[in-house]
Structure 1
Amino acid sequence: MKRRDPNFTVELTLETDGSATVDPPRRERAADGHRRRSLLLLGAGLILIGLNLRIGVASVGPVLGDILDDLQLSATTASLLTTIPVFAFGAFAFLTPGLTRRFGMHRALGIIMIVLAAGIALRLQPSLVALLGGTILVGAAIAIGNVLLPTAIKSDFSHRAGLMMGLYSTALFLGAALASGLTVPMLPLFDGSWRWAMGIWAVPAVLAAILFLPQMRRARDSAGPEATDSGRDGSATSASGEPPFRAMLRDPIAWSVTGFMGLQSLSYYAALTWVPAIFQEAGMPADRAGWMLSFSAFPAIITCLVTPTIAKRLKPRWVPVFAAAVLIGAAFLGLLLAPQAGAYAWMTLLGLGQGAAISLSLSYIVWRSPDAHHTGHVSTMAQGFGYLVAGLGPLGLGWLHTVTGSWTVPLIVLIVLLLLQTIIGGLASRDRHVGGRYQGRTVIVMQEPAHTHG
């Protein structure tokens, strides 16, 4: 029979010089509980930020016709509203290293949500300048978020990177689906005002900023791009004798990840821009054509969620890349041969393939990096150059359609590019880390922590 000694607490206090007045196991359990709650809050904040990284762009397309009529814009000017953000994703991505050095990774994530909300709200002003300026701000905020989210996941959730990348890519498609599917139905709530139907999407960005306030108040981190040797990831990978980002430009693995990101994004944004037009040219009503594009986001959510987990376990590694290309290629072939007859089938295949491709491209940024420091550089490179390439997709397909007078040649070009996407994606899928050529020693240490080399 156990008896509680009332003097035990006093003796413990005296022996520890008053430094431990609480049972140590209880204190450790409380600390573990606090860490778990903090990690859960951080994870929820990151996923909510991810949800916002397509809303500001996807909400434009459904009301583009209303914008054209209201502002008396030409089709060329209106196309800027859909092409500016994609080029901004690439151009502004290269500002991320400087912002990370200035504010820290987590503070920068909170700041871009404020900028995103401001950009969406600016488009409420009855001015074409405000509309285009707000669109640039939206693109800039999303560009930096695109780069920082994989870095944050690698830094804070390296033990659950596959799951978090799946949730992150799912959030991207879910945000796009909500914005494209709900913007038009909300028009009656605002007396038919397309400005307010788009402007209401500033609310999720504000909520994300509020949820991320605890992370913005934490000590400034430096795990993002251009982190110093004393970064919070604990690595000393910048001490390589040459500028890390410049060295990344000579790394074949980094270029394969970048190429895969660029090609799958080109295919995605080309489809996002022109699939409704393909359906309409085949005789489908405009409202149904818009719905078909929104519908494709739902099967994409499924493959976004499961693909990273499957790809991590499946061998050979290139199989998921090949499967994604086959699904997308089958959808393009269906749009070429019988767009109306099998519309739901083609959009299901397209969504499944695009969801798998985007989740793989984002996961490779994390998987091919030995630490958060490298993840920041690979993310900057892949999404900076990748989205600059992707911006050519909508413009190039539109030009081909104008020159040829049909969608046959543009769709054939997209199918041919899928072959190149498969080859480059296969190179990116190999189990290798970037930096192997100039930081092989660091990679070995990361892979075999039990052995110290000099």
Structure 2
Amino acid sequence: MMNGTEASRPASRQLALFIGLMVLVGLNLRPALSSLAPVLTRIQQDTGLSPLAIGGLTTLPVLCLGIFAPLAPWLAKRFGPENTLAAALLLLAGGLLLRGVPAVIALFGGTLMVGAAIGVAGTLLPALVKRELPAGADLMTGVYTMALCLGGALGAGLSIPLADTLGGWPAGLASWSLLALIALVAWQWLMPRHDTATHLPEGGGSTRELLSQPLAWQVMLFMGSQSSLAYIVFGWLPTLLVARGFSEAQAGWMMGASVMVQLISALTAPWLARLGRDQRPALLIVLGLVAAGFWLLLQAPAVWRWPGVVLLGLGQGGGFSLALTLIVLRTATSRLAGKLSGLVQGGGYTLAAMGPLGIGVMLQFEVGLTTLTLVLLGIIAVSMSFALFAGRNRRLEIDDTGRLVTR
């Protein structure tokens, strides 16, 4: 007969395997976005696209995140979350390969596929974390977010070198499909398997019920406002830095360094959030860091660029990690976490898509950096107001009568 220690070893190995798979999948959900921004100038030169069209290109994947994220719970219920995630990885790899075709229609089509895949996969992972690690879901969300940030940093930092090495931006963008295919094979081979009925029980928590809960709206609006800042960085920060006088390569590495710094706060922010009675102080701190980072990068003398890079990275890594953490902290079950994740990321990313589009429109009309900076600070102020509500110690639960309530 096995003793308790021996019996726990298979479970520990399974847990470690799931964390490893979660990190590998997470690594794939940002390079498709962050690798595009550093080569936007080359794309514009080669294709003749206007700044407004380039703004549409940066907005398209974020808008797709919002459109396709709500489909994830529906797909997971019918095909299982494991199979749905595998299909999303396959779609991601296909979209990345399509972007390697040197044609404008292929660039936009591949970007649409990439956004759809990331929208579905990113929505499923918080619910899977809640199911596999219910006691430490908030801390494991930090690990997952760290993987997202690392993938984003690699995409930003390696975009120009890959384009130069492989003979152009199409091949550089397409090369990220290899990482997606590796994740797909690993997930298919090693993914955790559960009976669908085990993790998708019937009960309350429909989308209509969620929409009747102010807490769900508060979390969604916080996600959307802080995410708009992240996708403005992914889409336009290198362009803004080039406008300040930095080279393409310098701008790409500065963006990559800022995203790399996000690793620190992505992992530590959930621990910080546990120190108080609720998450409001942590949310306000990270948003304050984002404001300071933008100001130093876009308005302060160039000597302050690296402190700006660090502060922006710390703030955005912590902000996104806490936004995902709120999904698991504000729900009582993995099913509710999945439903709330679809709503929050669907509505939030649809709202976030207005950020890079708005910056593209302002650049089309040659708006100055000072005005752009004030607009960014205004978005941060709005996000802070939503954080004061979403950060309160509240939770969505199903009561004894099967109704969705906030407690």
Sequence identity of aligned pairs in percent? Answer: 34
Q: Confirm or deny: 8 A CA contact 2:160 2:252 kept in the other structure.
A: no
Per-residue Cα deviation, 1:278-324 (whole angstroms, up to 9, x for no partner): 32223233322222212211221100010101212224531111101
Structure 2 residue 228 is the aligned partner of structure 1 residue 253 = no
Do residues 41 (structure 1) and 17 (structure 2) align? yes
Say whether residues 1:298 and 2:273 are aligned partners: no
CA–CA distance in structure 1, aligned partners of residues 170 and 195 of structure 2 = 37
Q: What residue number does 1:289 align with?
A: 251
Query: What amino acid is aligned across from residue 248 of structure 2 in structure 1?
Result: A
Paired AA for residue 86 in structure 1: V
1:178-198 deviation digits (Å, cap 9, x = unpaired): 1111122123432x2322212
Q: Which of 157, 162, 180 pairs up with 1:205?
A: 180
Change (3 A) 1:336 1:33: closer
Q: Deviations over 1:202-231 (max 9, x none)?
A: 11111111111245583442xxxxxxxx44
2:379 pairs, out of 404, 409, 417, with 417
Question: Does the Cα contact within 8 Å between 1:163 and 1:308 map onto a contact in 2?
Answer: yes
Listed one character per residue, the Cα deviations across residues 365-417 of structure 1 (whole Å, up to 9, x for unaligned) are 01101000110111011100101111111122333345573122222122122
Indicate the residue corresponding to 2:296 in structure 1. 334
Tell me the TM-score normalised to structure 2 length. 0.92
Runs of 5+ consecutive residues of structure 2 not aligned to the other structure: none
Deviations 1:90-145 (A, max 9, x none): 01112212211221011111221111111111222333222221111111100001
Find the residue that maps to 1:405 and give its secondary structure. coil
Partner residue of 2:199 out of 232, 239, 243? 232
What's the CA shift for 1:156? 0.6
How much has 1:423 moved relative to structure 2? 2.1
Q: Higher mean Cα deviation, 299-308 or 278-287?
A: 278-287
Q: Determine if contact 2:18/2:192 at 8 Å carries over to the other structure.
A: no
Q: Aligned ranges for residues 299-314 of structure 1 at < 5 Å?
A: 299-314=261-276
Equivalent residue number for residue 74 of structure 2: 98
RMSD over equivalenced CA pairs, Å = 2.5
Q: What is the TM-score normalised by the length of structure 1?
A: 0.83
More helix per residue: 2
Distance change >3 Å, CA 282–CA 200, structure 1 → 2: closer
Q: CA deviation at 1:271?
A: 2.9
Does the alignment pair 1:353 with 2:329?
no
One-letter amino acid matched to 1:123: R
Residue of structure 2 aligned with 1:68, choices 44, 50, 56: 44
The alignment status of 1:439 with 2:399, answered yes or no, reads yes
**Are residues 1:56 and 2:56 paired?**
no
Whether 1:117 and 2:77 are equivalent positions in the alignment is no
Q: 1:392 to 1:129 in 2, by over 3 A?
A: same
2: distance between equivalents of 1:347 and 1:379?
30
State the match for 1:227 in structure 2: none
**d(CA) in 2 for partners of 1:439 and 1:327?**
39
Q: Which has the higher contact order (CA 8 A, sep 6+)?
A: 2
* Counterpart-to-counterpart distance in 2, 1:217 and 1:376: 17
Please, which moves more after superposition, 210-219 or 97-106?
210-219
2:119 counterpart of 1:143: yes
Counterpart of 2:131 (choices 155, 178, 201) is 155
Deviation at 1:48, TM superposition (A): 0.9
Quick one: which of 151, 162, 169 aligns to 1:194? Answer: 169
How far is 1:86 from its partner? Answer: 0.5
User: Which segments of 5 or more consecutive residues in structure 1 lack a partner in the other structure?
Assistant: 1-23, 222-229, 448-454
1:309-343 CA distance string (max 9 Å, x none): 12122245311111012111112332453252311
3-state DSSP of counterpart to 2:161: coil
Alignment of 1:340-379 (within 5 A): 340-379=302-341
Q: Distance in 2 between matches of 1:281 and 1:63?
A: 15
- Whole-angstrom distance in 1 between the partners of 2:360 and 2:2: 66
Separation in 1, partners of 2:301, 2:68: 36
Q: How far is the alpha carbon of 1:427 from its aligned partner?
A: 1.4
| 3-state SS of 2:69 partner | helix
What is the CA distance between 1:444 and its match in structure 2? 12
Identify if the C-alpha distance between structure 1 residues 136 and 405 changes in structure 2 by more than 3 Å, giving closer, same or farther: closer
Larger Rg: 1
- The separation in 1 between residues aligned to 2:156 and 2:36, in whole angstroms, is 8
Larger deviation, residues 424-433 vs 381-390: 424-433
8 Å CA contact retained: 1:279, 1:339: no
For the 8 Å contact 1:279–1:340, the answer to whether it is kept is no
Aligned residues: 407
